[in-house]
């Protein structure tokens, strides 16, 4: 049975058919002095320098940006955002949406760790214009000089856009099918691709996310540090406030990484408000590890209504650790909301936001590898834990056999397919891949739409009316005819020995003789000094644990130096990229590091 239903207000003639960008003017008129966006800059002050734009100021600056963009580009041309995460970034996005200029939300080229992604996305988009800042200009110029990428017609400095230009802007019709921006995927399995997000997609997904978060509480506010070039950060920080004219307070990802407790402090600084926030699993794990009693003694998180955990596999241990660490600060047991989404659905698909503790079930691992979900006792042998991602809102989710295109019954694993006004129509200039992903047709639709369905590439299962995600199809490891989910093997590996760095393990398959062979790559835990490291002991512990837990042998185990595991922009383990580096012999092993010191 498929999950979900479509939101009536998003159907033709419904009240939700007004493009989201047009609501900026509405809030500017109805509540001009109310706060719209607040940016907190920790580089200017240890406690954070707060700069706020009202709705009237937001609308004026967005319109001025629209005029400036149209001076340099024609409707339908692309504008690449190569600037730091500030208020100017947000105004550029809104201005581009006003101007019918297709925004390409990226980042300043000096952001470490994302060079290949920036080159691929920028070259694919072929922007006519770059929007940056004076401070970031040297990095942009170096990027353009060092790489074979299209040269822009003009470079615009966001902070120098004259607000008086707003007076010359004349509103233009904005259609739901008009392209708003290109959301480049994080590239966990292949090169980045630009998902074509329309005004209708972003309008629908913002409404769906609010419905999923159930914001019936008064005075809601959004607090975030997520990158605006990533789908979750962009929709949560930009789109959500536009739905009802609410307030968003945000900082930049580097400020969070330097001190994760700033996230919790910003939430606690909003007394009398109902705060919503979101982050990937690693962020909650990071906060839990740093939330010592002395750091939370003055925090009050009682106003945190919902914190959505998504963008990467959700671990039960993380949910438990975060709840336990922050409970003394007033975190409600039902505040955590595991969810599921992807850029091809704009971002949001489902969430478990029912003001109850996250639902975690223990299932028979062997049955699951055979495609069937069977619950088992929590203390049983050969089990694995799955986290419920709740139900979809305003869209349909079906579990489908990817070979036969027939919907699978509840309790049976299949590919997750999504249908709704938030699903994109395709990838930028890639018709073949677009058809493969967005052109799904059910062979036996019954009461469901025959198509088009968006094929997520993720395995999942419906159980008890809720969605459970079991893993990426392309990452599935098949040895001796049995399916194995890599995340299960990775957890077993990190728990096998203290020398393995938690959450920095990649398990994947390589071709063998009659069957695939398992390779496990794990980063060394810096807390274990090289002088006390016994490499044979670590390898033996990992091999034995995988053999016992998964009844499979490891073809090769590599302990590598920190920083060697490839990750996506949202923090996911990029197994395909790590596998390629393994095949290329490009991973620095700890054994080689030790040998070089002798």
pLDDT digits (tens, 9 = 90+) for 489-544: 888 898 889 899 988 899 988 887 667 788 999 999 988 888 788 889 999 999 98
Residue-level pLDDT at 189: 43
Fold topology of 477-597: GMP Synthetase; Chain A, domain 3 (3.30.300)
Sign of CA dihedral 47, 112, 189, 192: positive
Residues 417 and 400: beta-carbon distance below 8 Å? yes
DSSP 164: G
Give the neighbor-by-neighbor strand order of the sheet with 49-54: 49-54, 35-41, 247-250, 220-224, 274-279, 304-309, 336-341, 348-351, 391-392
313, with CB counted inside 10 A (0-12, 13-18, 19+), is buried
What are the phi and psi torsion angles at 69 (to 5°)? Answer: -65, -40
The percentage of the chain sitting over the pLDDT mark of 90, rounded to a whole number, equals 62
Q: In Å, how far are 78, 248, 412 from 461, measured between CA atoms? A: 39, 34, 6
CATH class of 360-472: mainly beta
What are the phi and psi torsion angles at 509 (to 5°)? Answer: -105, 150
Helix axes 590-597, 535-550, angle to 10 degrees: 170
pLDDT in tens, the chain (598 residues): 688 777 666 554 455 578 999 999 999 999 999 999 999 999 999 889 999 999 999 999 999 999 999 999 999 999 999 999 999 999 999 999 999 999 999 999 988 767 778 998 999 999 999 999 999 999 999 999 999 999 999 999 999 999 999 999 999 999 999 999 999 986 544 567 899 999 999 999 999 988 877 667 778 899 999 999 999 999 999 999 999 999 999 999 999 999 999 999 999 998 878 999 999 888 998 999 999 998 998 999 999 999 999 877 788 889 999 999 999 999 998 999 999 999 999 999 999 888 899 999 999 888 888 889 999 888 777 888 899 999 998 999 999 999 999 999 999 999 999 999 999 999 999 988 899 999 999 999 888 999 999 999 899 999 999 999 988 777 778 776 677 878 888 888 988 898 999 888 999 888 876 677 889 999 999 888 887 888 899 999 999 888 888 878 898 999 988 888 877 666 678 888 888 888 888 888 888 888 877 6
Residue recorded with tokens 């049975």: 1
My answer on whether omega of the bond before 452 falls inside 30° of 0, hence cis, is yes
What are the phi and psi torsion angles at 81 (to 5°)? Answer: -90, 100
Number of residues that this document lists for the chain: 598
Look up residue 441 and give its two tokens. 């047709």
From-to residues of CATH 2.30.38.10 in the chain: 360-472
Look up residue 332 and give its two tokens. 């409600």
Long-range contacts of 199-202 (CB under 8 A, 24+ apart): 199/19, 199/20, 199/21, 199/97, 199/174, 199/175, 200/19, 200/175, 200/176, 200/421, 201/346, 201/421, 201/422, 201/423, 201/424, 202/20, 202/235, 202/239, 202/346
Q: Give the pTM.
A: 0.86
DSSP string, 433-477: HHHHHH-B--SS-TTS--S-BEEEEEEEEEETTEEEEEEETTT-E
Residues 104 and 181: beta-carbon distance below 8 Å? yes
- Widest distance between CA atoms in the chain: 74
Query: What's the mean per-residue pLDDT of the chain?
Result: 89
From-to residues of CATH 3.30.300.30 in the chain: 477-597
From-to residues of CATH 3.40.50.12780 in the chain: 9-351
Span 412-445, pLDDT tens digits: 999 999 999 999 999 999 988 899 999 999 999 8
- What is the C-alpha separation between 183 and 121, in angstroms, rounded? 9
What are the phi and psi torsion angles at 456 (to 5°)? Answer: -80, -25
DSSP string, 119-151: HHHHHHH--SEEEE-TTTHHHHHHHHHHS--PP
CATH of 9-351, one of 3.20.20.10, 3.40.50.12780, 3.40.50.1820, 1.20.1730.10: 3.40.50.12780
Residues 379 and 419: beta-carbon distance below 8 Å? no
356, with CB counted inside 10 A (0-12, 13-18, 19+), is exposed
User: 119-143 burial string, b = 16+ CB within 10 Å, else e?
Assistant: bbbbebbebbbbbbbeebbebbeeb
Q: Where are the alpha helices (DSSP H) in 13-134?
A: 23-30, 55-72, 87-99, 115-125
SS3 percent helix, strand, coil of the chain, rounded to 5, is 35, 25, 40
């Amino acid at each position: 049975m498929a999950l979900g239903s479509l939101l009536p207000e998003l159907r033709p003639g419904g009240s939700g058919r007004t493009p989201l960008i047009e609501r900026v003017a509405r809030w500017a008129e109805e509540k001009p002095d109310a706060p719209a966006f607040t940016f907190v800059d920790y580089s200017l002050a240890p406690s954070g320098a707060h700069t706020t734009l009202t709705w009237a100021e937001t609308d004026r600056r967005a319109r001025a940006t629209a005029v400036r963009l149209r001076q340099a580009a024609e409707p339908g041309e692309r504008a690449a955002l190569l600037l730091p995460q500030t208020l100017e970034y947000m105004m550029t996005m809104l201005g581009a949406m006003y101007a019918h200029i297709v925004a390409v939300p990226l980042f300043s080229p000096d952001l470490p760790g994302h060079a290949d992604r920036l080159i691929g996305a920028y070259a694919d988009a072929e922007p006519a214009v770059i929007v940056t800042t004076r401070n970031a200009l040297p990095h942009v110029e170096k990027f353009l000089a060092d790489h074979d990428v299209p040269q822009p017609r003009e470079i615009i400095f966001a902070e120098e856009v004259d607000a008086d230009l707003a007076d010359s802007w004349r509103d233009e019709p904005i259609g739901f099918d008009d392209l708003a921006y290109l959301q480049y995927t994080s590239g966990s399995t292949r090169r980045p691709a630009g998902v074509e997000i329309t005004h209708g997609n972003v309008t629908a997904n913002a409404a769906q996310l609010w419905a999923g978060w159930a914001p019936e509480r008064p005075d809601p506010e959004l607090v975030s540090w997520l990158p605006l070039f990533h789908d979750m950060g962009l929709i949560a920080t930009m789109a959500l406030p536009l739905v009802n004219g609410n307030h968003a307070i945000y900082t930049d990802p580097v400020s969070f990484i330097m001190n994760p407790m700033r996230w919790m402090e910003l939430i606690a600084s909003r007394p009398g408000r109902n705060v919503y926030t979101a982050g990937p699993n690693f962020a909650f794990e990071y906060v839990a590890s740093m939330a010592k009693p002395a750091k939370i003694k003055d925090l009050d998180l009682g106003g945190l209504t919902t914190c959505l955990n998504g963008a990467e596999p959700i671990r039960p241990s993380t949910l438990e650790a975060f709840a336990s660490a922050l409970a003394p600060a007033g975190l409600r047991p039902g505040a955590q909301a595991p969810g599921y989404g992807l850029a091809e659905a704009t971002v949001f698909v489902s969430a478990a936001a029912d003001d109850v503790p996250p639902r975690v079930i223990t299932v028979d691992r062997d049955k699951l590898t055979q495609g069937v979900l069977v619950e088992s006792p929590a203390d049983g042998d050969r089990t694995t834990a799955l986290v419920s991602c709740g139900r979809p809102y305003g869209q349909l989710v079906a579990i489908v056999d990817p070979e036969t295109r027939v919907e699978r019954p509840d309790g049976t694993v299949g590919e997750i397919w999504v249908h709704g006004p938030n699903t994109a129509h395709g990838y930028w200039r890639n018709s073949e891949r677009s058809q493969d992903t967005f052109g799904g047709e059910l062979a036996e639709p019954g009461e469901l739409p025959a198509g088009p369905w968006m094929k997520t590439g993720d395995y999942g299962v419906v159980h008890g009316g809720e969605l459970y995600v079991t893993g990426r199809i392309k990452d599935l490891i098949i040895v001796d005819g049995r399916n194995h989910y890599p995340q299960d093997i990775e957890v077993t590996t990190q728990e096998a020995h203290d020398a393995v760095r938690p959450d920095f393990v990649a398990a994947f398959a390589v071709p063998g003789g009659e069957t695939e062979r398992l390779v496990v790559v794990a980063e060394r835990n810096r807390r274990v000094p090289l002088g006390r490291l016994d490499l044979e002991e670590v390898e033996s512990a990992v091999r034995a644990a995988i053999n016992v837990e998964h009844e499979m042998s490891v073809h090769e185990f590599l302990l590598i130096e920190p920083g060697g595991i490839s990750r996506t922009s949202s923090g996911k383990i990029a197994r395909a990229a790590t596998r390629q580096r393994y095949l290329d012999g490009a991973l620095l092993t700890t054994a080689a590091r030790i040998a070089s010191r002798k």
